[in-house]
Amino acid sequence: MIKTRLCELIGIEYPIFQGGMAWVSTGELVAAVSEGGSLGIIGSGQAPADWLRQEIHKVKAITQKPFGVNVMLMSPFVEEVMQVILEERVPVITTGAGNPGKYVPMLKEVGTKVIPVVASVALAKRLEKVGVDALIAEGMESGGHVGEIGTLPLVPQVVDAVNIPVIAAGGIVDGRGLVAALALGAEGVQMGTRFMCAEECTIAQLVKDKILKAKDRSTVVTGRSTGHPVRCLENPFTREMDQHEREGMPAEELEKLGVGKLRLAMVEGDVENGSIMSGQVAGAVRRIEPAAQIIQDVMQSAEQEYERLSARFREGRA
């Protein structure tokens, strides 16, 4: 069985995080992932604090195992969200879109592990200095907001730059990705897109169908001119955004066009006019299945891949 420092740090059986995706990672999915032995993470996005508390209570009603909350630090509700996390004593938070440094002392006081998402070595070094517990090094293959460095070059550089555990994210869908991440020095992986097709995920069925039909080149990145590029499945909305961007529409106007589009897709099922945030691995997702089965498939295939590689090295055929 594959065990790493991450398992000991968080108290989970398997070194797998489920990405905290806004309008996707609700209490139902998070509880199923945590109950399955990995870390389920609620995606708080820009939701208000009352919504987050409701989702936390959903998770606690189903499982006693560790879970997390992803906090977008640019959310207008970030202060209220942090207060809920403190009051509910959430075991883990992951963060994005900013530096969580000012919140670290109070979170540690209640025993919450702080694990930011980073897309560069420089940010990884800064965050280690403020006392975070681990880091998620996320490559541009991931869905949603992305950086400019791929997972393969990013992860080992972050690993070499810090002493705390690193979780690899972006482009990981099965046990081969887990073994590759471990070979790069990571202590675990974070997966988002595959968990979108978990039975317990409450997103619109039309979105799941789009993921299952996706090919290797089905995702595109829009919004680079705004400084906040986003990877989504290509659809009429992304083509409209791309057209406006090429015509030089101001960043403020582009950002206004994107407001509410993620919810439009994930909750309302409008796969033509909504934003279907998804990673490049969408083309490798084959079926809808229980979250626990996804986790078992990743772990079993990782062990099989490890054994296959070990045998090849022993035989001198690597």
Question: Residues 144-201: pLDDT tens digits?
Answer: 999 899 999 999 999 999 999 999 999 999 999 999 999 999 999 999 999 999 999 9
Reference 177, options 270, 299, 87; nearest CA is 299
Question: Residues 280-305: pLDDT tens digits?
Answer: 999 999 999 999 999 999 999 999 99
C-alpha dihedral, 67 to 125 to 155 to 4, nearest 10°: -50
pLDDT above 60 (res 318): no
Query: Across all residues in the chain, what is the average pLDDT?
Result: 94
What is the average per-residue pLDDT within 266-273? Answer: 95
**DSSP SS3 for 278:** coil
Q: What domains sit in the chain, N to C, each tagged with a CATH number?
A: 5-202 (3.20.20.70)
- Residue 74: CB atoms within 10 Å: 11
pLDDT at 1: 76
What is the average per-residue pLDDT within 201-229? Answer: 94
Question: Residues 92-141: pLDDT tens digits?
Answer: 999 988 888 899 999 999 999 999 999 999 999 999 999 999 999 999 99
